[in-house]
Structure 1
């Protein structure tokens, strides 16, 4: 396949999930081999932060990219949408340090990209095809990548609370599958953890409009899928592994989160650089 970029700019405004701050983003077409690059427009020096695994500096409740002392955090939903829509080159101008949360999923970003359209460019895409087994394991959780002719994700979520319990899904990714079965899945929080998160300066922009909240009795809002949690985990994984590049392979995970996902992306990216 040829590399792809947007046909025209696309803009969106909202609040950041963790910062709670108003933010505007504009996604611009970019030349071949640019990759995905975030540009902080609110700073005097417009620092550019390439969205690559080597620039991941934190995975506390979100994936953070940094360049020197400038950062962008909670990039995973937007990166997932770019992955699902097959965009290789894009400059993302952003006037704060966190993209908008939108509705807590990636469907808003996917629609934004679709409305902008895409164009093929005059250079072949350099796909990273997994040709060996990668495994990141912390003894309780793991994520791995194995060779596969395409893109596939198999994810098992294990939650100690009976309301959720064990959730599993396996998807062979196409653009239609991503849009219908993954992109609408929203981020999820346990009600008793919300106050602690906010005390730590996290989740300040979270509401029942952009986060699914549950307690020991049930859900505080209506689910889009019975297994929305594991679908959102897959959404996050696709955003995190996109930091390694346009990857093809079978990703298998049990209880994985941003830390393990990005460690896997870093291992793949390091091999790709050689």
Structure 2
């Protein structure tokens, strides 16, 4: 029998939010069985909580937002991705702002933070979501889709389609376990097109992004060195792992073409809804 897990000790990380640009202090704390992954807003009176579940998703504009009890947290996908890969079921995430820190734009800092804290096995049985049929979400107009089908393990196959000559079509396929995730996926960072940055910032997005936390490209080339030649598709895999964790820990094969947060979280909602 698989058992639920939590962190063995508290872990602390301080940084800046990618979109808000705000300083944020984050503490990951052990939580008892059946708690789930729960954000706690320490900057608000009463310290309201927000469960990181698909039903609480309220926005997917450039990031995934969850909202409950009259408050929200956004850009949670990198942190959620690390939880999913580390197979951590229960944790309190205390933050004193609306957004977790961006770190270097990947999930590696969070993954290592959880590794250092250690994983504690609990006595309760783990409720893994074993995919027993095909779930699929399509955006026919944009020719995008994401689906998950039965598979004995957790695998992600992703095709990224980008018209830019530097990127084009990228494909990767990984069986997800902590070792593969740390080496092949966790270091993949958020990517932005230089021409879009000013418009994003006028929308109040990307205010905390720098060349230390975002890979930027223009029509001539990359403004900072890549961790991988196909870093974009690896980051897309990182994101889908995080977004689907909102449904719960998944056992299945995820296949996606040009999917983003909107389709990913719609799939998570569909899975969660079918489980009642």
Could you say which residue in structure 1 is the equivalent of 2:268? 265
1:216 and 2:223 are equivalent in the alignment: no
Could you say which residue in structure 1 is the equivalent of 2:99? 98
Q: Distance in 2 between matches of 1:70 and 1:172?
A: 35
Could you say which residue in structure 2 is the equivalent of 1:61? 62
Could you say which residue in structure 1 is the equivalent of 2:111? 110
Q: Distance in 1 between matches of 2:274 and 2:26?
A: 32
1:77 and 2:78 are equivalent in the alignment: yes
Deviation at 1:124, TM superposition (A): 1.1
Deviation at 1:68, TM superposition (A): 3.9
Could you say which residue in structure 1 is the equivalent of 2:51? 50
Could you say which residue in structure 2 is the equivalent of 1:245? 248
Q: Which of 131, 141, 145 is the equivalent residue of 1:142?
A: 145
Could you say which residue in structure 1 is the equivalent of 2:165? 162
The two structures have a TM-score, normalised by structure 2, of 0.98
Could you say which residue in structure 2 is the equivalent of 1:37? 38
Deviation at 1:173, TM superposition (A): 1.0
SS at structure 1 position matched to 2:79: helix
Q: Distance in 2 between matches of 1:109 and 1:32?
A: 21
SS at structure 2 position matched to 1:65: strand
Deviation at 1:174, TM superposition (A): 1.3
CA-atom RMSD, angstroms? 0.6
Deviation at 1:69, TM superposition (A): 2.6
The number of residue pairs the alignment matches comes to: 273
Report Cα offsets for 1:21-60 as digits up to 9, x if no partner. 0001000000000000000000012111010000000000
Contact 2:50 2:69 survives alignment (8 Å): no
**Tell me, which stretches of 5 or more residues in structure 1 are unaligned?**
none
Could you say which residue in structure 1 is the equivalent of 2:189? 186
Report Cα offsets for 1:185-237 as digits up to 9, x if no partner. 00000000000000110000000000000001000000000000000000000
Q: Distance in 2 between matches of 1:193 and 1:85?
A: 33
Could you say which residue in structure 2 is the equivalent of 1:229? 232
SS at structure 2 position matched to 1:234: helix
Q: Distance in 1 between matches of 2:105 and 2:139?
A: 28
Single out whichever of 215-224 and 61-70 deviates more from structure 2: 61-70
SS at structure 2 position matched to 1:92: strand
Q: Distance in 1 between matches of 2:258 and 2:89?
A: 29
The two structures have a TM-score, normalised by structure 1, of 0.99
